[in-house]
Amino acid sequence: MAETDRQVPPAWNAVGRHGVFPEASHDEIARFNFLTNLNMHLASRVLPGVRKAYESRVENGSAPANRREVGELLKREPTYQLWSSLRRNTMEMRQQNSRAMVFRQLPELVEKARQLNRDSNKLQLDASVEIPRYVSAVDTHCMPGSYHTEYCEDDIAAGANYDSGIFVTTAGMLGRYSDGGGQALVEWLREEAKSGFRPKRILDIGCTVGHNIVPLAQAFPESEIVAIDVSAPVLRYAHARARSLGIDNITFRQENAEAIAAEDGSFDLIITSMFLHETSSRALPRILAETHRLLADGGKAIHIEQPQFTPEMPPYEQFMRDWDTRNNNEPFWGTLHDLDLFEAMEKAGFARENITTRGLFAVVDETLFPSAAKAAEDSEDYGRKPAWHTYIASK
Amino acid sequence: MTFDPIDMAGNKARGKRPVFFKDTDTDRLLSILMAVAGELAVARERVDTLERLLEARGILERAEIEGYEPDTAAARERGLWHQEFIARILRVIQQEIEQFDEDREAQQQARKENVSATTELEELIEELATS
């Protein structure tokens, strides 16, 4: 009998460094390695057990008609309780570990960012921007202080924390710079270019630390890019990060996505990456309306998200995908995935026949990240694997 | 600016922490246990680094440990070690999962051979004793 060829995630040492990336000690790296492997264990060894527990309960009773009923069954199930508790713990530990690393060297990191951000007109902060409730009321992903809290002058801690921890949550499957989503957009744009779509002006909404927009700036240096976010610490970090990676065609602006200061029709391409689920029912139509207003004729808006909860999706899968709503501080996750995004985009002004959806897989270096390539094909982690649904609207 | 990085690292996220077990003490104990497990993994990884460096160079300098980067093969071996370590700690869960298959097989067996469908040892002892 042949031994199983186990997939091993890359050691955290493989993470891409740049000018404001925190320096990790040996033991800090080891903590991330443990958590990465624990996340993989939970996904590949424990999660299938939750499924079996569910199936065995269903066999002995009536089949749940919706995800709420699935939850009622599962919350009494020890395997589910344990899996949930461990998964929540890995998120909390990830936050504690990266915050410990960031805060012990924060003064140095702030200074590095200051140097990189000095005299640049490509970082445009606006202290009058109010933090919307969907950012301030909840610490998304169990990240204390969310994206916006500032601990000192010129703070970048939230950015450094987010940037260094994401590799653990995704088991490195987004690549060295956690930019597999952005790299996938680059591939998509190269395909689109064959039929003549070559955007000159690009807008990234909810950019955080700029993971997904930097690959576009690298691949299309002649394009003019604006990346917006409401949170100053992630923008300072994003600008310094991009600059240290040699990028000079992105302007990072502190702005609310619900009312963007730009002229009608001034962008050819508008992107959101895993952003819509971090907003709200009131904000979403306004943001989509802004994408319609800001797009030039012939332009496209592309939103990277998870698949919607349609009636065709089994209640068990819906429940598991909805887990993060309550247990990983993603309060709008379930609501967004229940929405008909096609309808929401239509209401924002796009013609129904000009809206499509397609799958998108993270594009990463497969020699360095063989487990990422394999995971894209044969595993399901209900929202964690680097494979998304995109919603594309053309104007 | 004054920081206490240790306190700040452990700050809680806004909102009430979800409870998954019947008894909240279980949630609390598991959190502590996983932190201990993590720290043990860290200690083990440090020893691994030390051993590899000693083997490779025959000397030991602290700075070298901080700077050590596993090559592809070492990273894979370490990853496998983590997986085995985690599997060892979470053995009880693996066994609970295997129980589902065992129960299913027992039920199929019971239907086919008209024997007890239970996998409880006591009942099996009784069954074996009386048949």
Q: Does B55 touch chain A (CB under 8 A)?
A: no
So what's the pLDDT on residue A110?
98
DSSP character at residue A2: P
DSSP character at residue A393: E
Which residue in chain A has the smallest CA separation from B77? A8
- CB-CB under 8 Å, B41 with A100: no
CB atoms within 10 A of CB A164: 24
So what's the pLDDT on residue A371?
55
So what's the pLDDT on residue B106?
81
So what's the pLDDT on residue B17?
84
So what's the pLDDT on residue B55?
84
- CB-CB under 8 Å, A25 with B41: no
DSSP character at residue A43: I
- CB-CB under 8 Å, B86 with A41: yes
- Among A284, A214, A212, which Cα is nearest to A243's? A214
Q: Give A-chain residues touching B76 at CB under 8 angstroms.
A: 8
- CB-CB under 8 Å, B68 with A26: yes
So what's the pLDDT on residue A60?
80
Pick among A79, A86, A368 to test the B interface (most B CBs inside 10 A): A86
Kindly provide the ipTM of the predicted complex, given to two decimals.
0.73
B84 phi/psi in degrees, rounded to 5: -70, -40
Q: Does A92 touch chain B (CB under 8 A)?
A: yes
- Among A265, A30, A70, A394, which Cα is nearest to B79's? A30
**Calpha distance A221→A242 (Å, rounded):** 13
Q: Does B23 touch chain A (CB under 8 A)?
A: no
So what's the pLDDT on residue B2?
65
The pLDDT of B34-43, averaged and rounded, is 91
Range list of β-strands (E), chain A: 123-124, 201-205, 224-229, 250-254, 267-273, 295-305, 355-361, 387-394
The answer to whether A272 and A205 have CB atoms below 8 angstroms apart is yes
Q: Which residues of chain A have pLDDT under 70?
A: 1-2, 4, 364-386
Distance from CA of A239 to the nearest CA of B (A): 23
CB pairs under 8 A between A and B: 164
The answer to whether A277 and A309 have CB atoms below 8 angstroms apart is no
The answer to whether A237 and A20 have CB atoms below 8 angstroms apart is yes
pLDDT value at B27 more than 80: yes
Residue B1: pLDDT band (50, 70, 90) is low
Q: How do strand A267-273 and strand A201-205 relate by DSSP bridges?
A: parallel
Distance from CA of B102 to the nearest CA of A (A): 12
- CB-CB under 8 Å, B34 with A144: no
So what's the pLDDT on residue A314?
93
CA distances from A148 to A76, A167, A231, A237, A339 (A): 37, 21, 5, 12, 27
- CB-CB under 8 Å, A138 with B100: no
Task: Tell me the three state secondary structure of residue A371.
Answer: helix
- CB-CB under 8 Å, A10 with B78: no
- CB-CB under 8 Å, B94 with A31: no
So what's the pLDDT on residue A369?
60
So what's the pLDDT on residue B24?
87
Name, in order, each residue with C-beta under 8 angstroms of A240's C-beta and a sequence gap of 6 or more.
A19, A20, A112, A113, A116, A117, A156
Name, in order, each residue with C-beta under 8 angstroms of B27's C-beta and a sequence gap of 6 or more.
A85, B17, B19, B20, B21
The answer to whether A292 and A163 have CB atoms below 8 angstroms apart is no
So what's the pLDDT on residue A380?
58
Separation of CA A3 from chain center: 35
The answer to whether A315 and A69 have CB atoms below 8 angstroms apart is yes
pLDDT tens, residue by residue, B77-127 = 998 888 878 877 787 787 788 788 888 888 888 888 877 777 777 776 777
**Calpha distance A341→B105 (Å, rounded):** 44
Q: Does B11 touch chain A (CB under 8 A)?
A: yes
Strand order in the sheet with A201-205: A123-124, A250-254, A224-229, A201-205, A267-273, A295-305, A387-394, A355-361
DSSP character at residue A138: S
The encoded tokens of residue A85 equal 């508790």
